[in-house]
Structure formats: C-alpha cells, structure tokens
Chain A
Amino acid sequence: MLGPTALWDLFVTGIFRGGMYALMAVGLSLVFGVMNIPHFAHGEFYMLGAYTAYFAFAVFHFPAFMAILSAASMGLLAGVLVEKLVFYPLRRRHPEEWVLNTFLVTVGLSFVMQNAALAVWGGQYRGITQYWQGAIQLGSGMHISLDRAISFIVAIFCIAVLWWFLDFTRTGKAIRAVAQDETGALLVGIDLDQIHTITFGLSSLMAAIAGASLLSLNPAYPSVGLAPLYKSWYVVVLVGLGNMAGAIPGGFLVGLLETFSYYAFGSGWQDVISLSILILILLLKPAGLFGNRGISLSKA
C-alpha cells in the first residue's frame, strides 16, 4: 500500500521534524542530568527565541542567520539570569526536596514568562513567511522548503557542537562529571555553581535557537513554547530521564512516529497514537527505551 517513494517522503519528513525535537530534548535532558531539575519552562525559552528572531528579522531587518544568532544570545542571557536569580538562591537556602521544588518553580516560571510576553507583546501571532526563499526537491519529487531544510541543518549543527563541547573541552568534561557524580566533581575542584549556570544557559540557548529557526512554521505568540515543551518531554521520557545521548535518536524516533501515524490515521490521531506507544513502552520498560537508572528524588 505504501510505495517506496511515499515511504521515503514520510521518512524524510519525519527525520526533519525529529531534528528539532532532538535539539529541544537534548537541552531538557542536560538540565535534568546535571542539575536534577524537571524543567517545565523549557518551552518559554523557545518562545523567547521566536520573539527575538521575529523582531530581529521582521522589524530590524537583520539577515536570517543574524536573527537566529541574536535569538541564541537572548536565550543564553535569559537562561543565565534565571539560573542566577531563581535556582542558585533556592539551592543555597533549601536544597532539600530539590526535584519537587524545582518542578513547581519551573511551572511557575513558565506562567510568569508567558504572561510577561502577553503583557509586553500582546496575544497576536508574529510570524514571518520565510527566512530563505525557495525549496529543495527530493528525488521523489517532494519539495521541502529551504527554511525547513536549514532549520534541520541548524539543529544538527548545534547538537554536534554541543557534543564536541561536552567531549573535548575542560568545561564540558566538568559538566559531564557533575552529571555523573556531584561529590566527586566537588572533590576534584569543580565549582558547581558555575557549572549549573553554564548548563542552564546552554540549554536555554538551544531552545531559543529552535524557536528562532522554526519561526516561519510556528509564529511567535506567548504560549508557542508549550507544544515543543511537551514534545521534548515526550522524547526524554521515552528514552529515559537524564540520558543525553539517547535524546538524539529519541527525537528522530518521535518525529518518524508522528509522521507515520499522521499519514496512516490522520492528524486527529497522531498524538493519540504516539502517546499510546509511549504508554506501551513505559509499561514494558519503565526506565525508558535506553534508560538504565531510575529517577533519584534527592540531590544528594
């Protein structure tokens, strides 16, 4: 029933969709793995990136890449500020029941940021038709807009740079060390406060890049971050909490899953199908597809 060309088209669409899911999920996973924060305000950094890119591109007429770059800087700045003003004082004053408290704090943060956006920019959609004109044609005759293709390349590039950073730089290694053993990290002289700030900043930067590069598909509005937030949580729960490497194949897997269920059952069913599959997987493998550790509820 499905010819090879249709299959190929679906596959490509799914992979393209998955790249952004992977980018969002990696940031979420990083924050959970390193800081033990179940982050429910991740989508608001996506929203911030979308708005920043919109103003940079449509209002100040920056070139497209500069618009995405300014969104990235805004994400980094906002992430660092939020970590310093919210999580750092909380960790100092009340490190007990950290996971539950930070969950509540991020939910609150999400409300505050959404409503701040509503107050400042209003509720209307602020979108652009495209960053780059044109489309690329796949072998099968299917066209994919240049925006979509470039946003995919941006996602892959960001993930690759993050991986290089974590693997080969002194700070990146320190971030992984904190994720694996916080006390061990302290004992070799790693400043936890500094690592937490960098980690949260990086994660927010990636969410902002995602929001910026998808601007022509999803215009900026106050609650635009909710859908990407849920998708990235979906990915993270699917592969196992805190599994950073797993978030990448997980993102692609979810992209493919959605595309195929959309094709097979129609758009109304795509969430039902993918969520049912998630429930099934969690019933069989409670720690997630690639999960090997449970959730630790205390920070110590």
Chain B
Amino acid sequence: MLKAGPLLTVTQLESGYNHLQILWDVSLKVLKGEMVALLGRNGAGKTTTLRTIAGLLKPKAGQIDFMDHRIDGLPAHEISRMRISFVPENLHLFPAMSVMENLLLGAYGIRDPGRTKGSLAFVCDTFPALARRRKQLAGSLSGGERRMLALGRGLMSQPELLLVDEPSLGLAPKMATTVFDTLSKLKLAGLTILLVEQNVHTTLQISDRSYVLEQGRIVMEGRSKELMKDDHVCKTYLGSGDD
C-alpha cells in the first residue's frame, strides 16, 4: 500500500558514551537489498553508529526509523526482535556453549520451530565449517570460525537488516576473502547490509554505496564505484597498503 521507502533512515543522529559525544549530525539511508558501507579511520564513529542503531547506546538526539517504526531509544533486545541483527567486532559469543547452542540462541526471538529449522539449514549451508563443529564449544574455536559463528548466529533470526562491524578483522587473507564472498552472497539472496570495514579497497568493491565518516560527521557519500576514483578517498583511505 505504501511506496517502498528506505529500510533504515538515520536522521541527524548524535550519540556517544556518557559525556563524550562521538557522533554529530549523522544522517544516512539504507535501501532494501543494498549493501552500504561506512568508511573512516579508527575513532571516526563507525562502531558508535552501529551500536546506536542496534540499541546498545542511547542516542542523545536524532531519529532512527526502520520499516515504518521509530526505533531510537528502544532497548537492544526489542530492536533485535524487529529483525535487525548486529554482529559486533568483538563478537560477544557464548563461550561455554556449543556452536549449536549459540546458533539456536540466535533464533531466540523466533518461537516457531519450523522457522528455526529453516534458519539452521540456511546457516549450516552458508558455513559448512560450523556444521562440522556444531558440538564444539564456541570458546574453543579459531578466530575465523568464531567470526563465522557470530555471523551465523546473527543470521539465525532471519534479519531484514544485518549490521556488521569489521568482519575481516584479525583474519588471514584467505579467510577474509571467504567472509567477503559470504556477505556478497547474502546480499544476492536479498539481505540488506550495513557494513563497517577497515579494508577500504575490498569494501568499496563489494558495496553499492558508501558514507565516509570523519570525526563523527559524514563528510562524503556516494556510489562506491565513484568514491573509488575520488581524490580525497584515494589519498586518505586507499593511498597506502591496499594493493
């Protein structure tokens, strides 16, 4: 009945920790089916943006809308049940539980066993390594496996929007490639993704659009392909190291 608007709209968001304000006037939009990236240096406010959208931080001002609902200020567990999954940089797995228990807790908000089974089949299909290790304790997995488990757990709730923070951090290059391939596949399968990544080069290649954050403000936005050719982006984020 309504014209399809953006899935997620962040308007003039201000946020931070206690008395330390980190985000100033951040506005962004994510359309359904898009992969959008947030770029910026350490401390630019990328993680703070994701944490605020996920409800782990209360915004000081501004508005966040998701699928016609205003979600700013809601507690994190309610936002999770509205089908926004946040896969944080430091994962927050349940270390003394098995891989399977971690995955099933990912579907905590789903009370329909049939749907949970469907999610589980999808996740095991996406991450065969997790299926092989389903009885192992999450705390005993390798770094790469843990990251996959966190992604898998995030997908168990069948989210509309996936917020991913630094999915390739600390991974061997081959493992990082696997993670990026998986994200691309998920996007093709119709998932909407808001991605924060330190690997700017790859991120610009796989994402549709990007926002550049500097000192808590959005300084640029555009199609990722165009940003790749932009002087400022090239100099600041692609200048050294990548390629």
Which A residues fall within an 8 A CB radius of B? 170, 173-174, 176-177, 180-181, 183-192
Partner of A187, one of B54, B97, B101, B104: B54
Measured between C-beta atoms, what is the minimum distance from A173 to chain B in Å? 6
Q: Are B108 and A174 in contact (CB under 8 A)?
A: yes
Partner of A189, one of B88, B96, B104, B109: B109
29 contacts between A and B (CB under 8 A): A173-B105, A176-B94, A176-B96, A177-B94, A177-B97, A177-B105, A180-B94, A183-B56, A184-B94, A185-B77, A186-B76, A186-B77, A186-B80, A187-B56, A187-B76, A187-B80, A187-B85, A188-B80, A188-B106, A188-B109, A188-B153, A188-B157, A189-B77, A189-B80, A189-B157, A190-B77, A190-B105, A191-B75, A191-B77
Q: Are A187 and B86 in contact (CB under 8 A)?
A: yes
Q: Which residues of A contact B154 (CB under 8 A)?
A: 187
Q: Are B88 and A176 in contact (CB under 8 A)?
A: no
What's the Cα separation between A185 and B77 when bound, in Å?
Answer: 8
Q: Which residues of A contact B92 (CB under 8 A)?
A: 181, 183-184, 187
Q: Which residues of A contact B143 (CB under 8 A)?
A: none
Q: Are A184 and B93 in contact (CB under 8 A)?
A: yes
- Majority secondary structure, A binding face: helix
Measured between C-beta atoms, what is the minimum distance from B143 to chain A in Å? 17
Measured between C-beta atoms, what is the minimum distance from A94 to chain B in Å? 13
Answer whether residue B43 sits at the interface, using C-beta atoms and an 8 A cutoff. no
What's the Cα separation between A184 and B88 when bound, in Å?
Answer: 9
Q: Which residues of B contact A183 (CB under 8 A)?
A: 56, 88, 92
Q: Which residues of B contact A188 (CB under 8 A)?
A: 80, 105-106, 108-109, 153, 156-157
Q: Among B54, B77, B97, B156, find the residue whose CB has the most chain A CB atoms closer than 10 A.
A: B77
Q: Which residues of A contact B88 (CB under 8 A)?
A: 183, 187
Measured between C-beta atoms, what is the minimum distance from B154 to chain A in Å? 8
Q: Which residues of B contact A192 (CB under 8 A)?
A: 77
New A-B pairs, 10, CB < 8 Å, besides A177-B97, A186-B55, A189-B78: A174-B108, A176-B94, A176-B97, A180-B97, A183-B92, A184-B92, A186-B76, A187-B56, A187-B80, A189-B77
**Chain B residue at minimal CB-CB distance from A174:** B108
Measured between C-beta atoms, what is the minimum distance from A89 to chain B in Å? 16
Measured between C-beta atoms, what is the minimum distance from B161 to chain A in Å? 13
Are A174 and B56 CB-contacts (below 8 A) given A180-B97, A184-B93, A186-B80?
Answer: no
Q: Are A170 and B108 in contact (CB under 8 A)?
A: yes
What's the Cα separation between A259 and B94 when bound, in Å?
Answer: 39
What's the Cα separation between A174 and B97 when bound, in Å?
Answer: 11
Measured between C-beta atoms, what is the minimum distance from B147 to chain A in Å? 14
Interface size on B, residues (CB 8 A): 29
Q: Among A177, A184, A185, find the residue whose CB has the most chain B CB atoms closer than 10 A.
A: A184
Interface residues of B in 87-122 (CB under 8 A from A): 88, 91-97, 101, 104-106, 108-109
Interface residues of B in 141-155 (CB under 8 A from A): 153-154
What's the Cα separation between A187 and B86 when bound, in Å?
Answer: 7
Are A186 and B56 CB-contacts (below 8 A) given A173-B101, A173-B105, A192-B77?
Answer: yes
Measured between C-beta atoms, what is the minimum distance from B135 to chain A in Å? 14
What's the Cα separation between A26 and B80 when bound, in Å?
Answer: 31
Measured between C-beta atoms, what is the minimum distance from A290 to chain B in Å? 13
What's the Cα separation between A181 and B56 when bound, in Å?
Answer: 14
What's the Cα separation between A190 and B55 when bound, in Å?
Answer: 13
**Chain A residue at minimal CB-CB distance from B163:** A187
Answer whether residue B134 sits at the interface, using C-beta atoms and an 8 A cutoff. no
What's the Cα separation between A183 and B150 when bound, in Å?
Answer: 13
Answer whether residue B29 sits at the interface, using C-beta atoms and an 8 A cutoff. no
Q: Which residues of B contact A176 (CB under 8 A)?
A: 94, 96-97
Q: Are B86 and A181 in contact (CB under 8 A)?
A: no
**Chain B residue at minimal CB-CB distance from A184:** B92
Closest 3 interchain pairs by CB?
A184-B92, A189-B109, A189-B80
Q: Which residues of A contact B54 (CB under 8 A)?
A: 187
Q: Are B106 and A181 in contact (CB under 8 A)?
A: no
**Chain B residue at minimal CB-CB distance from A191:** B77
What's the Cα separation between A187 and B80 when bound, in Å?
Answer: 6
Q: Are A181 and B93 in contact (CB under 8 A)?
A: yes
Answer whether residue B81 sits at the interface, using C-beta atoms and an 8 A cutoff. yes
What's the Cα separation between A173 and B86 when bound, in Å?
Answer: 20
Q: Are B95 and A181 in contact (CB under 8 A)?
A: yes
Measured between C-beta atoms, what is the minimum distance from A105 to chain B in Å? 23
Interface residues of B in 32-89 (CB under 8 A from A): 54-56, 75-78, 80-81, 85-86, 88
Q: Which residues of A contact B104 (CB under 8 A)?
A: 173
Measured between C-beta atoms, what is the minimum distance from A103 to chain B in Å? 23
